[in-house]
Structure 1
Amino acid sequence: MRGSGTIGRCSTSRGSRCEGHVSVAVPTDVGVVVLAGGRGRRLEPFTSLFPKPLVPIGELPILEILLRQLEHAGFDEVTISLGHLGELIEAYLATARHASSLQVRTVREVEPLGTAGALRLVAPCPADLLVVNGDVLTDLDVADVLATHRRTGAAMTVTVQRRTFPIEFGVVDVDGDRLLRIREKPEYELACAIGVNVYGPAAQRIARRDGPVDFDEVVAELLDAGEEVAVHRFDGYWADIGRPEDHERAQREFAERRAAILPGPS
């Protein structure tokens, strides 16, 4: 199912989903792009056979879960950027998707364009562009992210979640050949980008330049130019499906959290 690359718009007939909080309407002038072109090397051997967005969670590919979430949030059009084994995603969209009013268009990276550069393949969006990684499994309400972006007036908004990372060894601070401090198996708490971001016009211009462009380059150039990059803090469910063991855990968690992750009719 190849399209012209027109960016998806939000339908005015729907609101965002509500899971225990007041529903926030999705702005109608926001486009949405799903990035589905990565190789997913950490998830091999799965991704040697099919692209990461088609890796199953329960009985559904991750991409199908994401598309249903976007439709439920109020979007009526979505553009998917394809790359590695993109023809399999096209075949899935053409033959296997559930009955849906969501219009799905695709664009294809002939060569890798980075984690942001694929945005130049779609038509420019005069307002804001919601950009979602095609392997995100979460119960995030994207309307909340868009509300943060509009409230702050930032050039870009990055959704983050704080995660704790334990270190298996004693960590030593040194100055030359002197030991300053030792910490036995410390834990570090870091804010991690979960792969759901909003690009305003300035961020889109950087992403659309010639050559490969990565997400972190867009952020760095905005900050260097004195632009504000906001964060949307999210403490709900998010699974990083980077390795086979992560996929096994996500399978179990999806079964437990299905109603929150995939609201509406099954």
Structure 2
Amino acid sequence: MAVLVGSILYGPLTFSLLFALITGLTLWEFSDNVNKYAGAAVNRLINTTGGVYLFLAFTYYCSGFFNGGYADAFVFVPYLITTLFLTISELYLKHPDPLKNWAYAFASQIYIALPFSLLNVLAYGYSNAAQAIEYVGVLPLSIFIFLWTSDTGAYCVGSLLHKKFPAKLFERISPNKSWVGSIGGGIFCLLVAALLHHLLQDIVPLSLPVWLGLGLTVCVFGTWGDLVESLFKRQLGIKDSGKILPGHGGMLDRFDSALLAIPAAVLYLYTVQFFS
């Protein structure tokens, strides 16, 4: 947690390096799991390289650092070539189930590479005062603050009240999640959203209602993200997605909530902007 917070707040370079690494490790872990437990034969190196490149391409496109404030969409062409390679190569590799390989490879790009790449949309924005694109790390950081708050609130409230309110949120997939815990996590997120509005109103120009909506959006979609990864692990018959983080499982175990919360947050903020 400390490394993530420090890397985001220190500056755009550490932000990009950290999440390029996280993207790569998560894609590699996903590919390794489906190859071992789902009978797939996804090209881990190409799949991972393509996803990391997508993140860096978004960094270039959103920041405009290397082109005087303007970004050229041509930067995405190598990624398109990578996806074509992943598709066409199955014609020649003679794998017994190429459809499965395609499905898992492209699912990982949509499920992992794209959400992490969209962090760049949150991190960079045009400043009217500076007349330039600026890096504002506190906005992507707020997504993780909401996710941590939701998890902590859900655990605390669920532990205290689950005997009085035992209704399960999604017992088929995650028997330990309760409705009362999830509602508690949402309330905690609203409180933190109000606090962030108070602390960051000179840095992030979002009104209190928008902050409250963002907190709830991240809470709800973060919960769905957790459930999606639980379903993925149940389907593969595994307890943890990996062992890279001792005591915490794998990369997917740590970032599952973020994989749906990030695109939902981007969509929410663009919707608010469109109608404002």
The normalised TM-score by structure 2 is: 0.26
Higher RCO (CA 8 Å, separation ≥ 6 residues): 1
| Greater strand share, structure number | 1
The normalised TM-score by structure 1 is: 0.26
| Greater helix share, structure number | 2
